[in-house]
Amino acid sequence: MKSDYKRSRVKTIIVAGAILTALSMPAISQNSFFLNMLIMSGLWSILVLAWSLIWKTGEFSLGMAGFWAIGAYSSTYITNGLHLSFWLALPFGGVMASIVSLIFGPIILRTRTLYFAGITLAFSEMVRLSIQYMPKELGGGFDLTGIPHPYFPGIDFVGSRVPYYYLVLAVLLITVLVMWRIDQSRVGRLMEAVGIHVEPLARSLGIGGLKYKLMGFVIANFFAGLSGALLAHYWLVLYPDSFTMHQSLLVQVMAMVGGANYLILGPIIGAFVMTISGILLQTFLPGLDLLFWGVLVVLAIFFLPHGLASLEHGVSAIKLPWKRAKAVEIEDEGELVGAGVKE
Amino acid sequence: MAILLETKKLTKRFGGLLAIDKLEFHIQRGEVLGLIGPNGSGKSTLFNLISGFLRPTSGRILFDGKEITGLSPERTSGLGIVRSWQATTIFGHFERTVLENIMVASHLRERTGFWEALLSTPGYRREGEELEKEALRLLDLMGLLEHKDRIAMNMPVALQRRLAVANCLATHPKLVMLDEPVAGMSMEESRDLLQRVSELRNQGYTLLIVEHNVRVAMDVCDRMVVLNYGRKIAEGPPTEVRQNKEVIAAYLGEEG
């Protein structure tokens, strides 16, 4: 009991420390390259957090880019097309992504495992192409330029990246808070209970399979949409090509490197490591980022099958594949010897 | 005794195979009914039909006087029919403990939803405490109280099966259907579990048990129904069924 209490206090201190560090980042440096890395990491973190909520319900979504795009383009339609405030456009991006997932979710969620991955991938590509061929008046098109900066009296969003950094941080913290509450609550347990292997068991106990999968799907895509809306008003230009399968796959890679079974820590670590390393490599060693990521994924799978987040249990989380093989051999020998003695 | 569940000319056809053939049987309130039959006789199909995982080709199922033919599993469990499984008996993933298993299984009695959970309202927390109290009572009933904090997946099969029964009870069911609850367990363990299960009758539960091990099943059941090739070949108290020639030919004779 005492060690539990101690551990939870250590956790509180670490979380508080992380938030304080995040808050004081602009005080360390206001370099726009540096802030860009952090902002992009934050946006990716929200997206990967959303993915991991769908993963919690036992499904593997390859369609995050589609919902990212829905958030980006629908919010841009509010600011660029209707000339309304950004503060309306931001939640609208999330709500639109939710509405779309509420409409198509019951169809998509009829599938499981690989078929789910396939159908979400196809859906995401359909979203991208629909946006591409949508008339400009409805907010589509090959490229969208002239997206306005957010406006808030007294805060300069144009001249500095610091306000935007805090905006992204605020949305990320809200996302984390919601995910944490879901993880702690009975609702979160029920979402896990409709996972692949145990879904029939859950249904026979009256836990609606579709209900909880859809709940997870809609909430997750709401945050994907929010992240998309933030992305649009950060880049200020949008191309449908920014939302391809590559982005969807990158989400899984981030989750895998960070630790997919850690609902909050894994996605954030994965997103930060991948985004920052990607931006640094693109800048200093252009062309090598994909190679580096490939190596990173292989290393993670080999040595840290549960992701970087599993390092919270100390270095013992590092698995050495060759060592494990040896241990098995010895065990087998032992059994053989034992059997011989018995005879 | 009043009839709790009955089937009328229930038929299920898989392509050319007649899995259940115009089956008529009933379960009385408060009894322990054993369902036995050789492999492939349609026991599991019957389970799936009643619990709603399969739709019957024709025929009707009545529960508590109401038509439940073709209702989804979520609906039938809401009405009070809950079943266990042969393979996946408990929530073993995510290192769930025994107590957490029951908390998940008591979902049907939860009144608060997503928003209350998100905001952690007093009502939500009070309900959590009530559910936990109830869960502990059920664990005590199944003799699992001392194991409440163990990780469910790491327990021996015998304890996992007990937990599976407790999971079913957590929904406050009217009819508990157990699909081979003692498969793969030793004779003593089987007897112990079935003893506990049959005692549930005194708590007001009605049970339907599919069992392979006829000897064990005969000890605890009030009445038995024997299936063969989707048809009911015998029905009655264990002592009678034991003497039935057709049953001996189809089942006991082979075993023995």
In a domain, A252, yes or no: yes
pLDDT at A178: 94
Same domain, A127 and A154: yes
Q: Does B74 touch chain A (CB under 8 A)?
A: yes
pLDDT at position B251 is 67
A1 — pLDDT class (breaks 50, 70, 90): very low
Q: Which one of A240, A274, A289 terminates a domain? A: A289
Same domain, A194 and A283: yes
**Which residues 136-195 of B are in CB contact (within 8 Å) with A?**
167-168, 170-171
Candidates B68, B75, B91, partner chain A, best to mutate (most A CBs within 10 A): B91
Are residue A145 and residue A258 in the same domain, yes or no?
yes
> Is A92 contained in some domain?
yes
Interface test with B, best of A98, A204, A310 (most B CBs within 10 A): A204
Tell me the average pLDDT across A166-175.
Answer: 94
Last residue of a domain, one of A271, A289, A307: A289
Whether residue A337 is predicted with pLDDT greater than 60 in this model: the reply is no
Residue A196 contacts B, CB cutoff 8 Å = no
* Angle, helices A32-56/A64-76, rounded to nearest 10 degrees: 120
Tens of each residue's pLDDT in chain B, 256 residues = 588 888 889 999 998 888 888 888 889 888 889 888 888 888 888 989 998 899 999 999 999 888 888 888 888 888 889 998 887 778 877 778 888 888 888 887 787 788 888 888 888 888 888 899 989 998 888 888 888 888 888 888 888 888 888 989 888 888 999 888 888 888 888 888 888 888 888 888 899 988 877 777 788 888 999 888 888 888 888 888 888 888 878 765 554 4
Same domain, A152 and A176: yes
Length of chain A counted residue by residue: 343
pTM of the model: 0.86
Is the confidence at residue A53, as pLDDT, over 90? yes
Interatomic CA distance for residues B38 and B226, integer angstroms: 9
- What confidence score (pLDDT) does residue A4 get? 65
Residue A310 counted as domain residue: no
**A210 Cβ contact list (under 8 Å, min separation 6):** A106, A109
> A206 and A103, same structural domain?
yes
Whether residues A258 and A203 fall in one domain: yes
Q: How far apart are CA B108 and CA B170, in angstroms?
A: 8
Domain that holds residue A137: 31-289
Closest residue in A to B97 (Cα–Cα): A189
Most A CBs within 10 Å, among B82, B118, B172, to test the A interface: B118
Domain assignment present for A229:
yes
Partner-chain contact B104 A208, CB within 8 Å: no
Residue A329, domain member (yes or no): no
Residues A25 and A37 in one domain: no
Domain count, chain A: 2
Amino acid at A192: E
Residue of A nearest to B94 (CA): A192
Q: Are residues A84 and A232 in the same domain?
A: yes
Same domain assignment for residues A90 and A152? yes
Domain-embedded: residue A318? no
Q: B50 and chain A: CB distance < 8 Å anywhere?
A: no
- Give a yes or no: residue A265 inside a domain: yes
Closest residue in B to A174 (Cα–Cα): B118
Q: Residues A257-280: what's their mean pLDDT?
A: 91
Please indicate, yes or no, if residue A210 is contained in any of the structural domains. Answer: yes
A181, A182, A195: residue with CB nearest B93: A195
Residues A130 and A249 placed together within one structural domain of the fold: yes
Per the listing, tokens 């099943």 go with B217
Interface residue B117 vs chain A (CB under 8 A)? yes
Among B251, B249, B254, which residue's Cα sits nearest to residue B218? B251
Residue range A89-123, pLDDT digits in tens: 999 999 999 999 999 999 999 888 899 999 999 99
Mapped onto helix, strand or coil, the DSSP state of residue B171 is: coil
Higher local confidence (pLDDT), A208 or B33:
B33
Question: Are A267 and A174 found together in one domain?
Answer: yes
Contact with chain B for residue A209, Cβ under 8 A: yes
> Is A197 in Cβ contact with B82 (below 8 Å)?
no
Check CB contact of B232 with chain A, cutoff 8 Å.
no
Asked whether the beta carbons of residue A206 and residue B78 sit closer than 8 angstroms, the reply is: yes
Compute the nearest-CA separation of B23 from chain A (Å).
Answer: 23
- Looking at the complex, report in whole angstroms how far the Cα of residue A244 sits from the nearest Cα belonging to chain B: 32
Which residues of chain B neighbour A190 with C-beta distances below 8 Å? 104, 107
CA atoms of A64 and B142, how far apart (whole Å) = 45
Judgement on whether residues A109 and A143 belong to the same structural domain of the protein: yes
The structure tokens listed for B136 are 């502990």
Nearest neighbour of A186 by CB, restricted to B51, B72, B110:
B110
Element holding B187 (H helix, E strand): helix B187-199
Which helix (H) or strand (E) segment holds residue B8: the answer is: strand B3-14
For residue B215, the model assigns a pLDDT of: 77
Both tokens of B204, joined, read: 């007001």
Query: Average pLDDT of chain A?
Result: 86
Q: Which residues of A touch B107 (CB under 8 A)?
A: 186, 190, 193, 205-207
Residues B153 and A66: their CA atoms lie apart, in Å, by 37
- Would you call A207 an interface residue with chain B, using a CB distance cutoff of 8 Å? yes
Contact B91 A200 (CB under 8 A): no
How many residue contacts between A and B have a Cβ separation below 8 Å?
91
User: What pLDDT is recorded for position B65?
Assistant: 85
